[in-house]
Structure 1
Amino acid sequence: MPLAHNNMELTRTQQATKDAIVKQITKMKQESLDNIMKMQRMDNQEAKKETEDGMNMFEDGKVDQARNRVTARSSVADALAQDINLLKGINTITPTEEIQMGDVVHTDKGKFFVACASDAFTIEGEKYIGISTESPLFRALLGKHDGDTVTVNGNDFKLKKSF
C-alpha cells in the first residue's frame, strides 16, 4: 500500500521566501544562458566571416575552433534552458510534510533549495544553495521530515525545517 503524503499549506512568509528563491535562481540561470547565447552568436559570426573571407589552412582551423566552441556550449545552454523551465513550473508542486523537489530545506549545515544546482545566493539575509534532484544530499533527504538526520559522504545533516 503506498504511503500517504500529508499536504501542507505554506505560510505567506514561506511562500514569499520560496518565490524570492525561485526568482533569484531563475535570474542567475537566465543571465548565464544569455551570456552563452551571446558567445554562440559571436563564434557563429566569426566562423561565417572567416568562411566568407576565403579560407586558407589557418582560417580553416579558426573556423573549426569556433564551431567546436559552439557545439561544446550547446549542451550547457540546453541544461540552463531546462533548469529555467523547471523553475517556471515549481509552484505547481503541492507542498507536503516530506522533503521533495521544490522544497526550501534548512539544516544544521546550511539552507538549500531543491530544484537545480546553483551557486550560493542570499535572500532576506539568509544564504541558500540550489541543489538538484540528482545530488546525494537530496537523495538522502527525499521523503524525510523535520527533525530527521541524514548522512551524506560522512557528514550528518539534521533537518531543522522544510517547506
Structure 2
Amino acid sequence: MNASVVSALAALVGAAIGGLTSVLASWLTQRTQVRAEWRAHDRIRRQELYRDFIEEATKCYINALQHNEPDLPALGSLYAKISRMRVQSSREVADEADLIGRKIVDTYLAPDRSFLELREMLADGSIDILGKFSDVCRAEFASLRAQLF
C-alpha cells in the first residue's frame, strides 16, 4: 500500500474520531444541563405546591376547629392540591397529605373549640397536624438532592 494513501486514511479516521468525540461531548453536556434544569424546576414546583398546601390546610383546619359548617370551596382547593401531589410527589408525601385532609374533615364533625381549648392544644402540640407532613417533605427533598450526586 502506498504511504500517501495510509497517511490520508489515518487523517480521515482521526478527523472522524475527533468529530464524533466533539459531537458526543456536546450531546452529553447538553443532556446533563437539561436534566439539571428539569430537576431544579421540579423541585421549585414541589416547593410551591407544598407551601400552598400547608397554607390551605392551616386555614381549613382553623376553620374546622371553630365551625361545624365546612368551607367547601377551601376543602375542594385542598383536595385539588392533594391530587396534584399524587401526580408529582412521592407516595409518602401524597399519603400524608391525604391523612391531613381526612383529619380536617373529621374536625368539622367534632364540637367547636373555644379559645382556651385552642390554647391548650397549642401548649400540648396537638394542634400541629402538619408536623409529619413537613418531615416527609424534607425527606423527599433530601432524596432528590442525593439523586443529583
TM-score class, shorter: 0.3 to 0.5
Which structure has the bigger radius of gyration?
2
More helix, by proportion: 2
More strand, by proportion: 1
> What TM-score, normalized to structure 2?
0.32
> What TM-score, normalized to structure 1?
0.30
